[in-house]
Amino acid sequence: MLQVKHLLADKGSRIYTVGPDEPVLAAIRTMADRHIGALLVMRADELVGIVSERDYARKVILKGRSSNDTPVRDIMTSPVITVNPADTVETCMRLCTDSRVRHLPVVEGAKVVGVVSIGDLVKAMISEQGAQIEQLQRYIAG
């Protein structure tokens, strides 16, 4: 059973952050530059929220707000749904589906150690299922 720690070992544990007082425009620029869909909102080492492209679309664009004048804290999602490195990929998929989120910060103790996305989870499940199918085919053939 694949765990979050296995995903982080493969993809790395790099995280991208923004401060809660920074303008939304800075967050959107960072997401565009990094080709990512969400940023962790951090105050020093404390995870205080998460901001996504979805938050931007629904809470800035659709409400006619200014990206430059709106602070991230006004549109971020808080509290944040988190997972730990020992959680399984299946547990994370269930969380994403039930909570309708696409990004899960990985927290160990009080420290953020990475982020997994729905794409990471789907990729891992496809890979794991492919390996199981291959084993079954070898078993049947052999």
Reported pTM = 0.88
Quick one: DSSP state of residue 62? Answer: T
Q: What is the pLDDT of residue 101?
A: 95
Partnered with residue 104 across adjacent β-strands are 116
Average pLDDT, the chain: 93
Query: What are 14-73's pLDDT values in tens digits?
Result: 999 999 999 999 999 999 999 999 999 999 999 999 999 999 999 999 999 999 999 999
**Section 84-103 average pLDDT:** 96
Q: What is the pLDDT of residue 3?
A: 94
Is CATH 3.10.580.10 the right assignment for the domain spanning 4-141?
yes
Q: 53: which 2 tokens?
A: 């492209």
d(CA 37, CA 91): 21
Q: 14: which 2 tokens?
A: 């790099």
* Side-chain-side CA neighbours of residue 106 (13 Å): 27
pLDDT band at 138 (very low <50, low <70, confident <90, very high): confident
**Section 71-76 average pLDDT:** 97
Asked whether the predicted pLDDT for residue 128 surpasses 90, the reply is: no
